[in-house]
Structure 1
Amino acid sequence: MGTDVTYVEKPPHVDPVRMRHITDEALLAELGVTSVAQARPWRRRDPVWPRPRPEDVAEADRLVGTEVDFLDKGHGRSRLYGFHYLRWMMPLVSAYAQTGDPRYAREWDRFFRQWYAGRDLVEGDWPGLDVVWYSLGVASRSMHVTRALAVFGTEPALSDACWLEMTKTVVGGARWAAEEHDEFRHGNWQFATVCELLHVARVFADLPESGQWAEVARARILEHLERDVREDGGHHERSPGYHGMCLGGVQRAASVDPDLVAHPRFRAMHDWLASLTTSGGWVPHLQDSGVVWPAEMMRTGEELLGEPVVPVKGSHALEDSAYTIFRSGTLHTVINHGPYIGHELEPHSHHAALDFVSSGWGVPLAWEAGGPPSYDDPGYYDWFQATRGHNTLLVPGEDYAEDRRAARDLFHAGEHVDVFAGHHHGYRARHDRRIVFVRTEPSYWLITDEIDAEAIWLIHGTSPWVEHGPGHASSQGPGLLVVPAQPPDEVTFGSGPARMPDPATATAPYGEIHSLGLRRRDGRFTVAVFPFQDVPPEVQVSPPAIRVDGVTDTFTAHGWARDGLAEHWGGR
């Protein structure tokens, strides 16, 4: 599979009328029973559920008695679709599983029957894309409703009418998905949908149609593992969040079809997440991703694989996904040198290349905008996706080309020093960047950039920048000290929203990141970036020598030396 696949998914072509109007009698006949009472003891046939969370009880209590307008476009153009996934109702299921309190089942019944009665009336604002009958809507609701069917199965507070409507929703969705996805299409929509289709086919194995559902689903899943997952295990959209969504789908499918576990890409998808996981336990929010906390997914994967998933030690490259990773102790850096990737509706790639993020001591150090709270967010295009929200060069007044032809020219993982060099053509002039990571303590990064244009060298920290000696430092530690070798023509500051991972709670609420910009008319930059836990180190930056905490390093075009230690790397 090429690394620069682009595509446009065709709009849904299956008429959903037949799926919308399954009669109660026909459903019971297909289930092989004559009454709802006979059908309701049905239990889900696989063990992989999200584990109940204690905090779900409080969230369920907040839902009790609330009124919801399922037709309200005030949810937002994109959020309206997500609202109809019904994930927001799942705390009721989790709370019932933990407490057995029937009021949670009654509230689910009330919400779901209201949704079912009005689902044909919902109108969205994405042209040609039905809010209810589209791939992710069908798949996501099925995941949630099948769990609710299992948990509430024999609870009298859930009415027979609701049970029938829930079951018809799952069966009708499976019919739609099997017809809609009769051929391969790139992207997370189809991948996630056919994984859920296989799950439903195995759970409802007694239905006459289940064999055909399983045949379609398994064929598509195998195609996605071969054509939509890169050899290094990364989903081709290069977004950890969407990778996790697809991996979760494959895990769900493998829980009912264990043969999928033997596919080498199944294991590789877990290894990919492990490679990107920081010492704080999260995966950075690269591209349109949220911050990913992979621990639960890794536990599920290890249960299915029957063995632990162990991350690669030290620095290494995810060749096919075009991410290079520096890792030493608590410090972790990810460098992006990949292509802009298309998508079914809107691309999840950002307008940046040779950008990087770093973390240490369990917190972000050099951070970036990441994915938005919603694709309806007013800052989606001019902050979250934009070049200025990333740690790279910004050329003022130039639009960033999608066909950026980014490439890595050098990767050296040495005994003391790691080196990345790469280039891209996102601007009219070629941008070259080299990042040297001095792994031997005191550790730091030396970043060199060249472009034949006036440019701003950008880095974003998690606290405001203050002047410190020859450069600028984060006002709070852990943080960074940024020291340019040549004085900039201008120093600029800014800020914007970004998710901030909190290892104590495994959450990432939105906070503010602070940008430091170094403008130079000649487009030439040499900048040393020093991490610190409490207070900035004392440094002198005068290449070829850099002095930090009493230690002097000497750099050449292809080498580094310190106190009798030396290392060389190739390259131009």
Structure 2
Amino acid sequence: MRHISDEDLFAALGSDSRAWRWRAPVPAGLPSDGADALHGAEVDFLDKGHGRSRLYGFHYLRWMTPLVAAYAETGDPRHAAEWERLFRQWYAGRDLVEGDWPGLDVVWYSLGVCARTMYVTQALAVLGEAVGEECWKEMMKTVLGGARWAAEEHDEFRHGNWQFATVCELLHAARVFADLPEAAQWAEIATARIMEHLERDVRADGGHHERSPGYHGMCLDALRRAAAVEPGLATHPRYLAMHDWLAALMTSGGWVPHLQDSGIVWPSGIEPAKGSTNLEASGYAVFRSGTFHTVINYGPYVGHELEPHSHHAALDFVIAGWGVPLAWEGGGPPSYDDPGYYDWYQATRAHNTLLVPGEEYTEDRRAACDLFSSGHETGDGVDVFAGHHHGYSARHDRTVVFVRDEGYWVVTDRIEAEAIWQVHGLSPWVRHGAGYRTERAPGLLVVPLEEPDEVLFGNGPARIPDPATRTAEYGEIHSLGLRGRGGFTVGIFPFLDEPPTIPDGWTVHADRR
């Protein structure tokens, strides 16, 4: 563990340390909701009952920030006193915390240091003289020790959101605490790493290396904080491209789908892009026309220094229309401790693609786009994606055609194996004519060209975005599975109120390449 004495602190800050204040701005406070509930709360900072992964997040101390926001809003010293009580309790026991991830310290690891530096810096700025001398020292030691640790830990480039976010916060701390003797060294190290991440960890289309909108957003938020104190970053082409990437994936409802291990992302200050696009470097094809929005995943499985955030699916798609999900997927879990993390959220069965019974999905799936054509550019009224992958022992080929003017999709799959064609809606499926429809509207009518050998139904949890409140609480999604062999041709017809009449000749799009 990293201990900093009062002498070290005063040597770093100067003799008039208590009056010393940084000159750069700090971000606005987090919401104050929940501050009163923390008053008098008894907290066991060593309790492993938080969960194997959640224990780490608990020590970010974000849950304490409503006290800071409440003090900023009201000036009530009770909120500052409660922060002081809880923070000093955490500080006294931080060396005793033990986690269950081998070799990964709960307190001294990248995201923990990053988050606490951000939240404690904010608390120092807002609370100021409202906390006692000893608490102030311990908060300063937390920031100083975290910055020293981060500078030593990240002396060379590593892919992934851990380092990217941490070095952005290190640069922010170096500029905010510019009077510290080590600040220039921190800034040099952080800037070098940030530039490497912009060149090597942000793909050419602006997407973060891990292909997860949630972790992309986390890195972009950290980069924005760094750019606030280092304005030159804000003009870097990859910084600008990271915003464009979110705009390409953003629906008319204002949200970005929870692809890979992601939550729903609600970008601020970004408008949805216009037209269809192929994010080739990230492996996402996007169809867009009116309110309809389709994302097809054909990207790689990406590793991580702890656990990968990639899901076991390729050529899977999500569809939104009228600002709500129509064809949806499991997305990211509420916690990585969730018992369904591996067999639902990451599993093939939670995605809109083919499931091959009895086969394990191969991580090295070698997914690829064979064709992308936008009707917006060609003028023929259809968007076309064709691709393949090798996640199973038999190659899976899929073509997705979006008939823009009439607003429906035709999905054609070929595989030399028995497979289950899957799609997930927001309500249960019922028979409707030659196909199956969701019970509730807005929804989908799904019509297979050939009668399947078997029809399967299921359900599982997923976040459901609500544009009115810009929230995404967990609800249920419902799966429709069509079992067959050799291939499938399926029409997908959206409806706002009642299922539509199936257009004559929709099958002419079945083999379009």
TM-score of the pair, normalised by structure 2: 0.97
Given the alignment, which residue of 295, 307, 310 partners 1:349?
Answer: 310
Letter in 2 for 1:538: T
Q: Distance in 1 between matches of 2:23 and 2:64?
A: 19
Instruction: Map residues 34-183 of structure 1 onto 2, 5 A cutoff.
Output: 34=16, 36=18, 38-39=19-20, 42-43=21-22, 45-47=24-26, 49-50=27-28, 52-53=30-31, 56-57=32-33, 59-155=34-130, 158-183=131-156
| Runs of at least 5 residues in structure 2 that lack an aligned partner in the other structure | none
For the pair 1:390 / 2:351, whether they are aligned, the reply is yes
Q: Is the 8 A contact 2:348 2:355 kept in 1?
A: yes
> Which residue does 2:402 correspond to in 1?
437
For the pair 1:333 / 2:294, whether they are aligned, the reply is yes
Q: Distance in 2 between matches of 1:434 and 1:554?
A: 13
> Which residue does 2:442 correspond to in 1?
478
For the pair 1:379 / 2:379, whether they are aligned, the reply is no
Letter in 2 for 1:313: K
| Runs of at least 5 residues in structure 1 that lack an aligned partner in the other structure | 1-16, 300-308, 547-552, 559-570
Q: Cα offset for 1:160? A: 1.5
Given the alignment, which residue of 441, 457, 460 partners 2:424?
Answer: 460
Q: Deviations over 1:230-260 (max 9, x none)?
A: 0110001000000011111111111111111
Q: Cα offset for 1:486? A: 0.3
Q: Distance in 1 between matches of 2:360 and 2:418?
A: 14
- Name the CA shift for 1:495/1:556 in 2 (closer, same or farther; >3 Å): closer
Given the alignment, which residue of 449, 452, 457 partners 2:413?
Answer: 449
TM-score of the pair, normalised by structure 1: 0.87
Q: Deviations over 1:329-364 (max 9, x none)?
A: 111110000000000100000000000011111111
- Name the CA shift for 1:453/1:527 in 2 (closer, same or farther; >3 Å): same
Given the alignment, which residue of 526, 537, 551 partners 2:500?
Answer: 537
Q: Deviations over 1:181-231 (max 9, x none)?
A: 111111111111100000111111111111110000000000000000001
Q: Is the 8 A contact 2:489 2:510 kept in 1?
A: no
> Which residue does 1:265 correspond to in 2?
238
Instruction: Map residues 281-300 of structure 1 onto 2, 5 A cutoff.
Output: 281-295=254-268, 299=269
Q: Distance in 2 between matches of 1:506 and 1:347?
A: 28
Q: Distance in 2 between matches of 1:506 and 1:479?
A: 20
For the pair 1:405 / 2:362, whether they are aligned, the reply is no
Q: Distance in 1 between matches of 2:497 and 2:80?
A: 51
Q: Distance in 2 between matches of 1:159 and 1:44?
A: 22
Q: Matched residues, percent identical? A: 72
Letter in 2 for 1:284: P
Q: Is the 8 A contact 1:432 1:451 kept in 2?
A: yes
> Which residue does 1:499 correspond to in 2?
463
> Which residue does 2:186 correspond to in 1?
213
Given the alignment, which residue of 323, 336, 346 partners 2:284?
Answer: 323
User: How big is the alpha-carbon RMSD for the aligned residues of Structure 1 and Structure 2?
Assistant: 1.4
Letter in 2 for 1:417: V
Q: Is the 8 A contact 1:44 1:147 kept in 2?
A: no
Letter in 2 for 1:396: P
Q: Distance in 2 between matches of 1:31 and 1:555?
A: 70
Q: Is the 8 A contact 2:464 2:473 kept in 1?
A: yes
Q: Distance in 1 between matches of 2:30 and 2:349?
A: 40
Q: Distance in 2 between matches of 1:51 and 1:147?
A: 7
Query: Size of the alignment, in residue pairs?
Result: 509
> Which residue does 1:368 correspond to in 2?
329
Runs of 4+ in 1 over 6 A off after TM superposition: none
- Name the CA shift for 1:215/1:111 in 2 (closer, same or farther; >3 Å): same
Q: Distance in 1 between matches of 2:510 and 2:86?
A: 67
Given the alignment, which residue of 479, 486, 502 partners 1:523?
Answer: 486
Q: Deviations over 1:527-547 (max 9, x none)?
A: 000111111112267xxx23x
Aligned residue for 2:417, secondary structure, equals: coil
- Name the CA shift for 1:410/1:538 in 2 (closer, same or farther; >3 Å): same
Letter in 2 for 1:384: Y
Q: Distance in 2 between matches of 1:46 and 1:265?
A: 24
Letter in 1 for 2:67: L
Q: Is the 8 A contact 2:410 2:510 kept in 1?
A: no
Q: Cα offset for 1:34? A: 3.6
Q: Distance in 2 between matches of 1:555 and 1:136?
A: 48
> Which residue does 1:33 correspond to in 2?
15
Letter in 2 for 1:531: P
Q: Distance in 2 between matches of 1:50 and 1:339?
A: 37
Q: Cα offset for 1:324? A: 0.4
Q: Cα offset for 1:130? A: 0.4
